[in-house]
Amino acid sequence: MLEFLILNQSELVCLDNSNNFFVKIRAIVGKLLKKAKQKSLGQLISLVCSKTVDYLIILRYRLQYPNVKFGSGVRIQGKFSVKGKGRVEIGDYCVFVSFENHSNQITIQNSSAKITIGSYGFFNSTTLSVEGEGKIDIGDNAYFNNPSIKATDSFITFKEQCIVSDATLVDTDFHSFTINRRNPEVKAKTKPIYVEENVWIGSQSMVLKGVTIGKNSVIGAGTIVRQSVPANVVVIGNPQQIVKELDTTVLPYEFPK
């Protein structure tokens, strides 16, 4: 079997490198050969079976959701759903997992809505919802553990390396503060949310519209964030307050992928 793969690999080298398909095939064969040399036959069979299952799962979702662009190496375990006509782009090697009655849910009702997810992200039971012409943009190496994020005619942006627990982020008040809020002509206000790189948003916290959270900062559990947060601090409470400044002498720091 290995001799067959090696033969095909050498033949593929002779093919025109401008052909993307054959370049990808050659890369896949090379990776398989490298892993095969380090594993026993039983481990190799298990690896092939696992990769085959992952491929079939993604193939199913590619066919089911043509408006979703899946990157290379994306894995989905458990419940996963996409509703609406908007566009979704998922980067390479993202992992989506869910347990028991939870699921990863993406809702993008309008065709003008868009959700972009960077590479190497991990998402557990995450809810992403966009209404109107809103957008959600998530950077590389995100770690999302059961948050609920909603953009309505505005946008919510996460830079790379962000950690978000079971928090809520919304770019709208949902209803107007005026006394005639039930008048259908009265609209609720929306403002974008910016979350800079390496931010950690803690459990049961809420980030409201128009907020910017500076890089490396931490939002403590249960905090209601109504005003922008500077970089390199810890914020807790309601009303929010800065309780600690973080040590930046450890920077620059290379984040693992």
pLDDT digits (tens, 9 = 90+) for 77-134: 999 999 999 999 999 999 999 987 889 999 998 988 999 999 999 999 999 999 988 9
Structural domain includes residue 158: yes
Q: Is residue 235 part of a domain?
A: yes
Tell me what pLDDT residue 38 has. 66
Burial class (CB in 10 A: 0-12, 13-18, 19+), 7: exposed
The pLDDT assigned to 47 comes to: 57
Domain membership of residue 119 (yes or no) is yes
Say whether pLDDT at 7 is over 50.
Answer: no
Q: Out of 8-17, 83-92, 113-122, 139-148, which region has the weakest mean confidence (pLDDT)? A: 8-17
CATH of the domain at 143: 2.160.10.10
Residues with Cβ within 8 Å of 224's Cβ and at least 6 positions away in sequence, in order, are 205, 206, 208, 238, 239, 240
Q: Identify the band that residue 14 occupies on the pLDDT scale cut at 50, 70 and 90.
A: very low
Host domain of residue 174? 68-245
Which amino acid type is present at position 123? F
> What does the pLDDT look like over 45-89, one tens digit per residue?
665 666 677 778 888 899 999 999 999 999 999 999 999 999 999
Q: How far apart are CA 2 and CA 40, in angstroms?
A: 13
| CA–CA–CA angle 70, 66, 170 (5° rounding) | 70
- 5 — pLDDT class (breaks 50, 70, 90): very low
Number of domains in the chain: 1
Supply the pLDDT for residue 36. 60
Does 34 map to a domain?
Answer: no
* Residue 121 CB-density burial (10 A; 0-12 exposed, 13-18 middle, 19+ buried): buried
Is position 84 within any domain? yes
pLDDT category of residue 180 using cuts at 50, 70 and 90:
confident
**Is pLDDT larger for residue 165 or for residue 32?**
165
What percent of the chain clears pLDDT 90, i.e. is strictly above it?
61
What CA–CA distance (Å, rounded) separates 89 from 107? 13
Query: Does residue 132 lie in a domain region?
Result: yes
Residue owning tokens 């190497």: 120
- Phi/psi at 150 (5° precision): -135, 125
Tell me what pLDDT residue 37 has: 64
Per-residue tokens: 136: 């959600």
d(CA 118, CA 123): 12
The answer as to whether 213 is a domain residue is yes
Burial of 90: CB neighbours in 10 Å, binned 0-12, 13-18, 19+: buried
Which pair of tokens denotes residue 144?
């999302």
Q: Which amino acid is at 89?
A: E
More confident residue, 152 or 257: 152
pLDDT of residue 28: 66
